[in-house]
Amino acid sequence: MAGAANLACGPVSRPQDLEVMHVLTLTARTGITMAYTNQHSMRRVLCREIAGTIGLLTDERDFTAMRRYRTFPFDNYESYLRQVESLLRTRADEGSHTTVAFFDPEKYAEFCVESGLDPDAPASRTRFTAELATTGPALSYEGQPLTELVPELLDNAVRKATWEYAATVLSRLGPCATCGEDIGRSAFARASDLLLRILDAAGTGEHHLVCSVSAQPETLTAVLHADESAGGGTPLDEPEALEFTTVLALGIATHSAAGLVMRTSASGTSDRVYGWRLREDELQPLTAGEVFDAYCTNSESGDIVSPESGVDYTEPPDLGDSGQAGGHTH
């Protein structure tokens, strides 16, 4: 029976055999651990390759609107902002790229209705935020504090809304009843021509151009920055140029009261400020006094604002003849 027992249990191991088995066991376990570690490391690398988007509620009113959803996890706006900023910094420290998008509760509700989604579901907020990365006002997070990021994001949102409104009005004007010409397209072409003439006449320097058009319910404003080098090149930010041209085209197409003011800064000289008023589809120069009044008057209170030192308020350069007929005029 003893022999049978020995056969069932196998031969008795010697001490050196136990040491070899121990080493083999450790090797196997280490291999499994290393494989797991490598897989985990690779997943972390892949995570850094994934771009993320955060939909940011930029004021307490929008935050309050989202609190009506049971699944919205925050109840204090300041705490919410701290958590967002902490998450942004953590992702940046890990090497992850994050886009911060403007989250509009009203548009979110519309999105859910159109898509047949439950607005009180985290997955719905995630889908909407993913859409914002490509369609909504958004900024890349570069380590800036929210106190800097939020105003810039709001400015982008206003610019986008202004462009959308102006573009929509232009598209709805349709063809002229007299000649059949598309009024919006004609006005846009005319605005493009006027902008090119302004930049050509401005010369070398850093140019800051503002266009204001009276509209309902409020005045529309577009801003364009352009730097012309000594070599004559004037690179433009394409979205800014499109927004500016569209707003100016709206003023032309609707015969609205509108004005343009340019500030030019060049090395070794005082800044120059000058402008034009829009009449039909032509730009009429403002006098130095008119420019001073426009630039040094508080638009809300009407009070006179002290002029800046080192700034000349002057008449604009001659824009010359465009060599083509004006835009649609009837």
Would you say 213 and 220 are in contact if contact means Cβ atoms under 8 Å apart?
A: yes
Would you say 157 and 103 are in contact if contact means Cβ atoms under 8 Å apart?
A: no
Within a domain: 308: yes
Within a domain: 207: yes
Same domain, residue pair 199 and 301? yes
Count CA within 13 A, CB hemisphere, residue 277.
10
Same domain, residue pair 201 and 266? yes
Same domain, residue pair 256 and 187? yes
Within a domain: 42: no
pLDDT digits 0-9 by tens, 134-147: 888 999 999 999 99
Same domain, residue pair 146 and 220? no
Q: What is the pTM of this model?
A: 0.74
Count CA within 13 A, CB hemisphere, residue 302.
0
For 171, residues 6+ apart whose C-beta sits below 8 A from its C-beta are: 184
- Looking at residue 305, its pLDDT comes to 80
Same domain, residue pair 291 and 194? yes
Same domain, residue pair 189 and 295? yes
Same domain, residue pair 116 and 62? yes
Within a domain: 7: no
Domain count for the chain: 2
Same domain, residue pair 71 and 140? yes
Q: 198 is in which domain, residue-wise?
A: 183-313
The H-assigned helical ranges of the chain are 2-9, 15-49, 60-66, 77-93, 105-115, 122-135, 146-173, 183-202, 238-254, 288-295
Same domain, residue pair 122 and 205? no
Give the pLDDT of the chain (330 residues) as one tens digit per residue: 333 333 233 344 444 444 434 444 444 555 555 555 566 666 666 666 677 899 999 999 999 999 999 999 999 999 999 999 999 999 999 888 899 999 999 999 999 999 999 999 999 999 999 999 888 899 999 999 999 999 999 999 999 999 999 999 999 999 988 888 899 999 999 999 999 999 988 888 899 999 999 988 888 999 999 887 655 667 788 889 999 999 999 999 999 999 999 999 988 888 999 999 999 889 999 999 888 888 777 666 667 788 788 889 999 998 876 545 555 665
Q: Please choose, from the candidates 135, 47, 156, 40, the residue with its C-alpha nearest in 3D space to the C-alpha of residue 98.
A: 47
- Looking at residue 45, its pLDDT comes to 63
Same domain, residue pair 127 and 190? no
User: How far is residue 51's CA from residue 153's CA, in Å, rounded to a whole number?
Assistant: 19
- Looking at residue 81, its pLDDT comes to 95
Whether residue 119 is preceded by a cis peptide bond, meaning omega within 30 degrees of 0, is: no
Within a domain: 39: no
Within a domain: 134: yes
Within a domain: 87: yes
- Looking at residue 84, its pLDDT comes to 95
pLDDT digits 0-9 by tens, 15-50: 444 443 444 444 455 555 555 556 666 666 666 667
Same domain, residue pair 132 and 187? no
Within a domain: 326: no
